[in-house]
Structure 1
């Protein structure tokens, strides 16, 4: 029997445009549902930590505990460690690791957390099973995943971008925007429904600064990231189509009435 891990199905990378969106994330804007459960002495695992902004925030909230952030590639981790040092957060470390096979003993962590990770991996149920395994009895597994976005004003270019992103993710084996059914994955991973608390959260980008941040990062990602490389290489889009989508992002940024919203599904699973 093969012990090979499921393949990497991520359609992006850790280029500047991608990290611009990931690095904006904090506990306050992306994991506030977790706040009532945190205690100062907890040991936390942050799965799919990216540039470490949420990971470092979690470490601040457990000053007498510790946090480990793992990512499938080392690419963003040096900057994550640099950010922690700059901010004087010393109870955090970063490692390379695969969500499908966590390199930790059973019953290690009080909290195992993942933000926008399950949609980007090949086997989310296996990952949740692993997260459950390394959580202590009485601990929690906490996950947040997006549901398809909405925006104003209407834009054929933005619609084409999200259709392309969704199609590419599915073609590579990913699970785009699964927030409405992550509790079902948790049940398949071995949690009883009575152990799972479901909530929802939102992101909203509407001010000029928010539009420039969000739209600008996706404008850049459309033309200068692994997303663009895969779209072209695998025949999902032409360069002209990508340029039109990037132009649509710039037009949305410049629209005074521009608004963009995400709904997210959240689960807290008691072990």
Structure 2
């Protein structure tokens, strides 16, 4: 079992952020591989929005299974599936380092924003590959905090990034996972000829998305797992976290504000 601490935790602000994610905005690189009759495993599914989208796309005949380590978040995902009327999806607790599935159980194994939090991402990729059927697709997507950029260039946002990176690394993760994703997949045993690499970006620039992104991070820097760890490690005081939250609110109020979150995406055929 992994001992990696999930940096963000599962506060309301974090779950609201994760629930925004869909196949269209977070797994579009995988759309052409989804087809009726396929079985999909979604690793680190969170509140299940992407998983439920997968289930719709592999119906009829296919199924989507979402796993996470938090029972609370899995209950929310199951409730969302029921409300959405999607019945070919299952959510259950599991650890990516020791998946409770037989070898060759799935046609697609997917993980979004998961590897950046793991102490052993290569080991996780090997375990994900184990449960893939021959000819199946491993699909992973991760952001790169070091490559994020924004305007206006408020100094406080650089402080936020530096603090987040310190907390993430102290928790066993790698916040600049995006640039390492290809290397990890190759280290897990895939041949370069069987791997496709792409990139896509979340862009928060219109008034609605900008306000949402700023508000989400203002809340998270004050009360999520990031804040708790920063305080416990002595990396920041409560007052300093409040100041960073205010910087996020200030950024979000600017008509010219823009924030880019780059992601690397890797599809690997077994």
Aligning the two structures, in what range does the TM-score lie when normalised by the shorter sequence? Answer: over 0.9
**1:228 match: secondary structure:** helix
RMSD after superposition: 0.9
Instruction: Check conservation: 2:149, 2:260, Cα contact below 8 A.
Output: yes
TM-superposed deviation, 1:233 = 1.1
Query: Is there any run of 5+ residues in structure 2 with no aligned partner, and where?
Result: none
Instruction: Check conservation: 2:2, 2:95, Cα contact below 8 A.
Output: no
TM-superposed deviation, 1:177 = 2.5
- Mapped partners of 2:236, 2:140: distance in 1: 32
1:9 aligns with 2:8: no
* Corresponding position of 2:81: 84
TM-superposed deviation, 1:9 = 2.5
**1:265 match: secondary structure:** strand
TM-superposed deviation, 1:117 = 0.2
TM-superposed deviation, 1:6 = 3.0
* Corresponding position of 1:29: 25
TM-score by length of 2: 0.97
**1:76 match: secondary structure:** helix
- Mapped partners of 1:75, 1:231: distance in 2: 23
Cα shift readout 1:64-122 (whole Å, capped 9, x = no counterpart):
20000000121211111111111111110101111111110100100000000000111
- Mapped partners of 1:121, 1:9: distance in 2: 8
- Mapped partners of 2:222, 2:172: distance in 1: 22
* Corresponding position of 2:46: 50
TM-score by length of 1: 0.97
- Mapped partners of 2:120, 2:69: distance in 1: 14
- Mapped partners of 1:18, 1:156: distance in 2: 24
Instruction: Check conservation: 2:199, 2:265, Cα contact below 8 A.
Output: yes
1:61 aligns with 2:57: yes
* Corresponding position of 1:143: 140
User: Bigger shift: 31-40 or 222-231?
Assistant: 222-231
* Corresponding position of 1:204: 203
Correspondences of 1:168-247 after superposition (within 5 Å)? 168-247=167-246
Cα shift readout 1:195-232 (whole Å, capped 9, x = no counterpart):
11101111000111101211111100111122111111
**1:77 match: secondary structure:** helix
* Corresponding position of 2:116: 119
**2:6 match: secondary structure:** coil
**1:41 match: secondary structure:** coil
